[in-house]
Amino acid sequence: MRYARLGPIGQETPVVITDSGTFDLSSVVEDINGAAFASGSLDLVPSLLASGALPAVEDADALRIGSPIARPGAVYCIGMNYAAHAAESGSEPPKIPILFLKPSNTVVGPFDDVDVPQKSLKTDWEVELGVVIGENALYLESPEDAAAHIAGYVTANDLSEREFQLEISGGQWSKGKASPGFTPVGPWLVTPDEVDGGNLHLRSWVNGEPRQDSSTADLIFGINHIIWHLSQYMELEAGDLILTGTPEGVALSGRFPYIAAGDVVEIDIEGLGRQRTLFGQA
């Protein structure tokens, strides 16, 4: 299944997108969120589609596309999870997953405009595979147990301000990760039966010029390992979002200029869809 949320900010309608059209899920779930996953209501969607019980969304292509999940309870991020990106950051590959968190109010739609923060000189892009939790996970016994807790996958951009993150951080990364709009997500949430999250091509471009080009097969810590590892320290809840790390090819490498107002950043993950973000100035 491909789930999305269409409509103005704060008034998005949950939908399912199929080869034959886009269908309204308002009669099934209030939103695409933790409650929808935890209740199992989305399990009814295939049979409702087959019976023709879901109304089609008229002019769906003309509607704004929001984040395919409503504001998550938490956004967990894994740092330096590709060896080449760790190297371009001046670090050795980590021996255990590096965790940081982003505020959930940074989550925006895949085509929403985002402002370069005030006083920013080093705003950066990071294409990342996002994993949405579908069932609470705490103290999982093994990585193999993690698969049952995945609702689906999304394209995500972990936007970062590197001076805030690394130079005036006080030792933590949060200042550089928390600006408004710094987590564009979508366009779709795709269920695990549709794609192999462990082998997806991911790319980014700035003003049409290629930047990142890699595969989730190159992750140092795989998806199941990340979920299992995090569950040893915290309870992951349905609707939470995990960003799994970015490959090489960001501005932090010194090979490319940082984002400026007027720039357009595009990212794409195989099977999960493409984003386009136009940057303004706060």
Q: What does the alpha-carbon distance between residue 153 and residue 149 come to, in Å, rounded to a whole number?
A: 12
Residue 237 · residue 258 · CB < 8 Å = no
Average pLDDT over residues 53-70: 97
What mean pLDDT do residues 98-116 have?
97
pLDDT of residue 88: 79
Is pLDDT at 89 greater than 90 in this prediction? no
- Distances in Å between the Cα of 80 and the Cα atoms of 34, 94, 95, 98 are 28, 7, 11, 7
Residue type at 15 in one-letter notation: V
pLDDT score at 238: 98
In 3D space, the residue among 260, 273, 267, 230 whose CA is nearest the CA of residue 246 turns out to be 267
Q: Take residue 120 and report the two structure tokens written for it.
A: 């920013």
pLDDT value of residue 93: 85
Every domain of the chain and the residues it spans: 2-62, 75-281
0.85 exceeded by pTM: yes
Q: What is the pLDDT of residue 99?
A: 97
Amino acid 3: pLDDT: 98
CA pair distance 220, 87, nearest whole angstrom:
13
Percentage with pLDDT > 90 across the chain: 94
Q: pLDDT value at position 87? A: 79
Residue 124 contacts residue 246 (beta carbons within 8 Å): no
pLDDT tens digit sequence for 116-153: 999 999 999 999 999 999 999 999 999 999 999 999 99
Confidence of residue 85 (pLDDT cuts 50, 70, 90): confident
Residues of the chain with pLDDT > 70, as a percent, come to: 100
Q: Residue 83 — pLDDT band, cuts 50, 70, 90? A: confident
* 3-state SS assignment for residue 208: coil
The tens digit of pLDDT for each residue in 202-259 reads 999 999 999 999 999 999 999 999 999 999 999 999 999 999 999 999 999 999 999 9
160-199 burial, b at 16+ Cβ within 10 Å, e below that, comes to: bbbbbbbeeeeeebebbbbbebbbbbbbbbbbbeebebee
| Contact in structure between 270 and 200 (CB atoms under 8 Å) | yes
Degrees, nearest 5: CA angle 198-202-207: 170
User: How many C-beta atoms surround the C-beta of residue 108 within 10 A?
Assistant: 22
Q: What is the DSSP string of 2-44?
A: EEEEESSTT-PEEEEEETTEEEE-TTT-SSSSHHHHHHTGGGG
pLDDT of residue 152: 98
CA distance linking residue 130 with residue 157, whole number of Å: 9
Classify the phi-psi angles of 118: left when phi > 0, otherwise alpha if psi is within -120 to 50, otherwise beta: beta
> How far is Cα 55 from Cα 51, in angstroms, rounded to an integer?
11
Q: What is the pLDDT of residue 173?
A: 92
What is the reported pLDDT for 91? Answer: 77
Mean pLDDT of the chain: 96
Confidence band for 105, pLDDT divided at 50, 70 and 90: very high
CATH 1.10.540.10 fits 75-281, yes or no: no
User: What mean pLDDT is predicted for residues 151-178?
Assistant: 95
The four Cα atoms 241, 223, 97, 219 give a dihedral, to 10 degrees, of -120
Are 88 and 45 in contact by the 8 Å Cβ rule? The answer is: no
CA atoms of 59 and 22, how far apart (whole Å) = 9
For residue 210, how far is the Cα from the chain centroid?
20
Are the beta carbons of 269 and 201 closer than 8 angstroms?
A: yes
Give the span between the Cα atoms of 114 and 203, in whole angstroms: 19
